[in-house]
């Protein structure tokens, strides 16, 4: 190991190392990031939720977008699976149905980056359980 | 598939370590390897999560799923379900004892809701054996900042303004101590970390050293810069092997990265740290005794002044601080004194780590803002008293502290309020007692501890505490008199006033505070020869109720000392002279015929 010679070097090193714990850092404070929750109960998994979740992770990392992607239980919209709930910091969550791998980029381009709504929105009639 | 999607944090603290968390970690690694998931899932060994009651703990990130009491056999299911299928393993989630609901996200657990983690910020979050994880979380930035941007005086000013007070018991203002040590002129000074932690039941300092050793090393270096010392010593008890090991790894890595040693970050500042081992004597936590022990002398205290800041290790100015005190320092430098001073009460700033133990549902390690009430700690974070029993008292400050009772439940916890309530902050032990605990017996328990731990140098402590203990013994055996209660009080006062060191000066506190808060219980022991908690065996009688006894002889056959007589199908009788109050008869009786008087 080469010794760290200056504070600037230490800072540079920290920048590079941040990625290592980035996932933990963001999830400790999900409210300050874009949160994507993919419903992953039996119905969701059967209709491809796992692939959708992976597509989100890949896309975010490719485009360098700070976001937390997690799974949740069944949201109760089995007819519209896979369903995805997206929460942007300071905004109410919006749930999208019939999300497939192809729709992932569209959701990112339109809703996440430009705040434009995309078809397949499920009117929300529940309080997010995570609000407690 | 490219990107890591999951971090699995496996607790590697002493508690979880003892219940196989090491093997669990290895098993996860093997399973992940077998399935070719190395690029998706990363397993990380961390320090203590604090919720030791439910260990071993495995926490899944990014969804914060908190798996409790994980066994080796559960690993496969967690991997299959959580990672591969994306479903939570419900049976391993924490169950809210009141609603019976499973809570998956640790953020929603009562245990964590009111906690603020400053000293424990990295415990249960980073791998303590990897300096890079510490650096990624602002590690050594505070040291870098003071070395390049701040003078020692300016740094001390920040410490003073933050209001941080010593977490080792006394609560002395940390910035002021640094200033005093700085002011003394000397060719050599020392920085000492007190990791003796002798308070029974306490494991705050151990957890910090196991979970985040670099934060202590960084703070010691900052202290060295401020006080003008280039040498640090960590005094740690040899009974903490895991903490010692992690500390050693941390020191080695810090040297390799140039963060300890000569010319740190090219600033010309030199600082290095050594470990000194203690043999686990309570008195060696007292700073003068600690210093003598490090010098190779007997671990006995000496009179203050001179304070260690003036004349300490080898007669040189020595700044002694506690582990938890140090763990707060880098955060204060990074986030500023004002940020820190916003947390807490008027005269006690920041947070305090407590080790919750005793008759409480959630035993574990917690960090809470100063000013929180005992009620919040016991009923919200602690989940209430075990088995729905009645709360009776809580001992803070270990053997040097006192008991707080129902009347103190809503008092904001800080240094001054605890002293006003007849106890003290101490290092952070919190032992909760319920209606089945006898306060006289509790006082006796603590006195027994001090009698054993007294170094014997001065007579009030060596002899006085022994006499106190004997009087308490007499009372619990049913031979006490009302005069004994006065004698207890007087002798306690004398010991407090005349002992040489903090051990003797505080050892009568459990006696005095139980006398003050539970005088009627003492009176019952003395006058009625009764122990309402049923703890003092000499005051109990096992009696056979003639109406319920059918003469089955089961009790007589189970009595280890043959104290029970009676013919078959005749009412039995317990010979009180012979009875040793073991309770075996009552346990065995199927007819509810035996009771305690
Ligand atoms: C009997 C006795 C035991 C003590 N044990 C400890 C201990 O285990 N750890 C500790 O940090 N301080 C302990 N102290 C307090 C130390 O003497 C000293 O005040 C403290 O280490 C200073 O650090 P601080 O200002 O950061 O709290 C003890 C004091 C007494 C009288
Ligand atoms: S008070 Fe007790 S522990 Fe302290 S010096 Fe005297 S005998 Fe030793």
* Tens-digit pLDDT profile for residues A83-103: 888 998 888 888 888 888 888
Q: Are the beta carbons of A7 and B148 separated by less than 8 Å?
A: yes
Q: Are residues A2 and A37 in the same domain?
A: no
How far is residue A81 from each of residues A102, A121, B341, B348, B518, measured CA to CA in Å?
14, 12, 49, 53, 63
Q: Are residues A10 and A38 in the same domain?
A: no
User: Are residues B514 and B465 in contact, defined by beta-carbon separation less than 8 angstroms?
Assistant: no
Distance in Å, CA B143 to ligand 1 centroid = 25
Q: Which atom of ligand 2 is nearest to the CA of B283?
A: 3
State residue A28's pLDDT score. Answer: 84
| CATH no. of B351-434 | 3.10.20.600
Q: What are phi and psi of B217, to 5 degrees?
A: -60, -45
| CATH no. of B439-528 | 1.20.1440.230
Distance in Å, CA B505 to ligand 1 centroid = 13
Identify the band that residue A130 occupies on the pLDDT scale cut at 50, 70 and 90. Answer: very low
CATH number for B131-340: choose from 3.40.50.1110, 3.40.50.800, 3.40.50.11540, 3.40.640.10. 3.40.50.11540
Helix (H, G, I), strand (E, B) or coil at B275: strand
Domain boundaries, chain B: 6-113, 131-340, 351-434, 439-528, 541-596
Identify the band that residue A40 occupies on the pLDDT scale cut at 50, 70 and 90. Answer: confident
User: Are residues B331 and B340 in contact, defined by beta-carbon separation less than 8 angstroms?
Assistant: yes
Distance in Å, CA B196 to ligand 1 centroid = 8
A73 contacts in chain B (CB < 8 Å): 87-88
Closest CA to B202 of B371, B378, B349, B352: B352
State residue B104's pLDDT score. Answer: 82
User: Are residues B545 and B589 in contact, defined by beta-carbon separation less than 8 angstroms?
Assistant: no
Q: Are residues A89 and A101 in the same domain?
A: yes
* Cβ B35 under 6 angstroms from ligand 2: no
Number of domains in chain A: 2
Q: Are the beta carbons of B125 and A4 separated by less than 8 Å?
A: no
Identify the band that residue A131 occupies on the pLDDT scale cut at 50, 70 and 90. Answer: very low
Global confidence as pTM? 0.90
- Per-position pLDDT tens, chain B of length 597: 457 889 999 999 998 998 899 999 999 999 999 998 998 899 999 999 999 889 899 999 888 899 999 999 999 999 988 888 778 899 999 988 878 888 888 888 889 989 999 999 999 999 999 999 999 999 999 999 999 999 999 999 999 999 999 999 889 999 999 999 999 999 999 999 999 999 888 999 999 999 999 999 999 999 999 999 999 999 999 999 999 999 999 999 999 999 999 999 999 999 999 999 999 899 999 999 999 999 999 999 999 999 999 999 999 999 999 999 999 999 999 999 999 999 999 999 999 999 999 999 999 999 999 999 999 999 999 999 999 999 999 999 999 999 999 999 999 999 999 999 989 999 899 999 999 999 999 999 999 999 999 999 999 999 999 999 999 999 999 999 999 999 999 999 999 999 999 999 999 999 999 999 999 999 999 999 999 998 898 888 899 999 999 999 999 999 999 999 999 999 999 999 999 988 899 989 999 999 988
Q: Is the peptide bond before B306 cis (omega within 30 degrees of 0)?
A: yes
Q: What are phi and psi of B270, to 5 degrees?
A: -110, 135
CA distance B183 to A24: 43
CA distance B486 to B473: 15
CA distance B130 to B258: 15
B1 contacts in chain A (CB < 8 Å): 54, 58
The residue whose CA has the least distance to atom 6 of ligand 2 is B458
Q: Which atom of ligand 2 is nearest to the CA of B461?
A: 2
ipTM for this model: 0.85
* Cβ B292 under 6 angstroms from ligand 2: no
Q: Class for domain B6-113, per CATH?
A: alpha beta
Q: Are the beta carbons of B132 and A41 separated by less than 8 Å?
A: no
* Cβ B364 under 6 angstroms from ligand 2: no
Distance from CA of B245 to the nearest CA of A (A): 21
Q: What are phi and psi of B344, to 5 degrees?
A: 105, -160
Q: Are residues A18 and A42 in the same domain?
A: no
Tell me the best of B286, B401, B501 to mutate to test the pocket of ligand 1, counting ligand atoms within 8 Å of each CB and taking the most. Answer: B286
* Cβ B499 under 6 angstroms from ligand 1: no
Q: Which residue has the higher pLDDT, A125 or B455?
A: B455
- Cβ neighbours of residue B139 closer than 8 Å, sequence gap 6 or more: A14, B131, B214, B215, B218, B330
Q: Are residues A51 and A109 in the same domain?
A: yes
Q: Are the beta carbons of B9 and A24 separated by less than 8 Å?
A: yes
Q: What is the DSSP string of B433-483?
A: EETTS-HHHHHHHHHHHHHHH---SSHIIIIIHHHHHHHHHHHHTT---HH
Q: Which residue has the higher pLDDT, A73 or B259?
A: B259
Q: Are residues A5 and A48 in the same domain?
A: no
Q: Are residues A64 and A84 in the same domain?
A: yes
Structural domain of residue A107, as residue ranges? 33-131
* Cβ B114 under 6 angstroms from ligand 2: no
Of B62, B147, B257, the CB nearest to A1: B257
Q: Are the beta carbons of A4 and B257 separated by less than 8 Å?
A: yes
Q: Are the beta carbons of B126 and A21 separated by less than 8 Å?
A: yes
State residue A129's pLDDT score. Answer: 44
B63 contacts in chain A (CB < 8 Å): 27, 70-71
- Please report how many Cα atoms fall inside a 13 Å half-sphere around the Cα of residue B152, on the Cβ side: 17
Q: Are residues A16 and A80 in the same domain?
A: no
B144 contacts in chain A (CB < 8 Å): 7, 10-11
Minimal-distance CA residue of chain B relative to A129 = B108
Say yes or no: do domains B6-113 and B351-434 share a fold: no
CATH number of the domain enclosing A103: 3.40.30.10
Distance from CA of A3 to the nearest CA of B (A): 4
Q: Which atom of ligand 2 is nearest to the CA of B301?
A: 5
CA distance B441 to B536: 7
- Cβ neighbours of residue B5 closer than 8 Å, sequence gap 6 or more: A23, A53, A54, A57, A69, B40, B41, B62
CA distance A22 to A19: 5
Closest CA to B10 of B19, B343, A68: B19
Of A1, A4, A20, the CB nearest to B265: A4
Both structure tokens of B40? 């998706």
Q: Are residues A17 and A40 in the same domain?
A: no
A36 contacts in chain B (CB < 8 Å): none
Which fold would CATH assign to domain B541-596? Alpha-Beta Plaits (3.30.70)
Question: How are beta strands A84-87 and B41-46 bridged, if at all?
Answer: unpaired
Minimal-distance CA residue of chain A relative to B89 = A73
Q: Are residues A80 and A108 in the same domain?
A: yes
User: Are residues B380 and B113 in contact, defined by beta-carbon separation less than 8 angstroms?
Assistant: yes
How many CB atoms are located within 10 Å of the residue B252 CB?
12
CA distance B236 to B216: 13
Long-range contacts of A97-104 (CB under 8 A, 24+ apart): A97/A121, A97/A122, A99/A52, A100/A48, A100/A51, A100/A52, A101/A48, A101/A51, A101/A52, A101/A55, A104/A52, A104/A55, A104/A56, A104/A59
Helix (H, G, I), strand (E, B) or coil at B342: coil
* Cβ B476 under 6 angstroms from ligand 1: no
Sign of CA dihedral B69, B75, B77, B81: positive
């Amino acid at each position: 190991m080469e010794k760290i010679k200056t504070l600037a070097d230490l800072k540079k090193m920290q920048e590079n190392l941040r990625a290592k714990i980035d996932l933990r850092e963001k999830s400790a404070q999900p409210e300050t990031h874009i949160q994507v929750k993919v419903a992953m109960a039996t119905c969701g998994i059967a209709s491809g939720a796992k692939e959708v979740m992976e597509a989100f992770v890949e896309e975010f990392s490719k485009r360098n977008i700070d976001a937390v992607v997690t799974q949740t239980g069944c949201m109760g919209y089995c007819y519209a699976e896979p369903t995805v709930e997206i929460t942007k910091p300071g905004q109410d969550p919006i749930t999208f149905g019939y999300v497939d791998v192809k729709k992932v980029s569209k959701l990112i381009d339109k809703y996440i980056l430009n705040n434009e709504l995309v078809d397949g929105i499920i009117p929300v009639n529940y309080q997010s359980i995570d609000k407690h | 598939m490219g990107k890591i999607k999951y971090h699995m944090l496996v607790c590697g603290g002493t508690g979880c370590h003892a219940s196989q968390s090491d093997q669990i970690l290895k098993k996860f690694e093997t399973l992940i390897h077998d399935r070719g998931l190395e690029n998706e899932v990363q397993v990380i060994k961390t320090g203590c999560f604090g919720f030791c009651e439910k260990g071993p703990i495995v926490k899944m990130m990014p969804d914060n799923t908190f798996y409790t009491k994980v066994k080796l056999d559960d690993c496969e299911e967690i991997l299959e379900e959580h990672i591969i299928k994306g479903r939570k393993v419900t049976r391993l989630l924490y169950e809210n004892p009141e609603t019976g609901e499973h809570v998956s996200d640790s953020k929603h657990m009562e245990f964590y809701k009111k906690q603020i983690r400053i000293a424990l910020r990295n415990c249960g979050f980073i791998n303590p054996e990897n300096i890079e994880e510490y650096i990624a979380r602002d590690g050594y930035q505070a040291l870098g900042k003071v070395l390049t941007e701040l003078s020692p005086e300016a740094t001390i000013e920040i410490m003073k303004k933050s209001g941080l007070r010593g977490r080792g018991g006394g609560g002395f203002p940390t910035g002021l101590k640094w200033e005093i040590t700085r002011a003394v002129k000397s060719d050599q000074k020392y920085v000492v970390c007190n990791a003796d932690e002798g308070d029974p039941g306490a494991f705050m300092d151990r957890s910090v050293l196991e979970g985040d050793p670099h934060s202590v090393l960084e703070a010691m270096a900052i202290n060295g810069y401020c006080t003008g010392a280039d040498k640090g010593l960590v005094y740690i008890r040899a009974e903490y092997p895991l903490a010692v090991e992690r500390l050693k790894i941390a020191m080695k890595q810090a040297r390799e990265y140039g963060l300890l040693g000569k010319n740190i970050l090219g600033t010309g500042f030199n600082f290095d740290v050594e470990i000194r081992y203690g043999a686990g004597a309570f008195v060696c936590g007292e700073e003068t005794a600690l210093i003598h022990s490090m010098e190779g002398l007997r671990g006995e205290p000496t009179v203050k002044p001179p304070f260690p800041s003036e004349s300490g290790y080898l007669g040189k100015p020595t700044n002694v601080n506690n582990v938890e005190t140090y763990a707060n320092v880098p955060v204060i430098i990074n986030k500023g004194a004002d940020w820190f001073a916003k947390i807490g009460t008027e005269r006690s700033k920041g947070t305090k780590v407590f080790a919750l133990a005793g008759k409480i549902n959630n035993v574990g390690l917690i960090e809470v803002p100063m000013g929180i009430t005992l009620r919040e700690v016991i009923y919200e974070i602690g989940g209430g008293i075990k088995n729905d029993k009645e709360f009776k008292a809580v001992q803070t400050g270990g053997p040097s502290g006192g008991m707080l009772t129902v009347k103190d439940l809503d008092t904001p916890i800080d240094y001054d309020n605890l002293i006003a309530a007849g106890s003290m902050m101490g290092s952070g032990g919190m032992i909760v007692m319920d209606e089945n605990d006898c306060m006289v017996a509790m006082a006796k328990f603590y006195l027994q501890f001090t009698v054993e731990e007294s170094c014997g140098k001065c007579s009030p402590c060596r002899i006085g505490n022994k006499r106190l203990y004997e009087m308490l013994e007499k009372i619990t055996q049913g031979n006490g008199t009302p005069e004994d209660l006065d004698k207890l009080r007087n002798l306690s006062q004398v010991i407090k006033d005349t002992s040489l060191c903090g051990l003797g000066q505080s050892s009568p506190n459990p006696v005095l505070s139980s006398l003050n808060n539970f005088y009627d219980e003492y009176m019952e022991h003395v006058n009625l020869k009764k122990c309402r908690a049923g703890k003092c065996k000499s005051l109990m009688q096992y009696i056979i109720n003639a109406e319920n006894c059918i003469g089955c002889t089961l009790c007589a056959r189970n009595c280890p000392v043959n104290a029970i007589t009676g013919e078959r199908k005749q009412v039995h009788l317990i010979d009180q002279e012979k009875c040793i109050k073991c309770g075996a008869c009552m346990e065995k009786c199927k007819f509810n015929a035996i009771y305690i008087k």
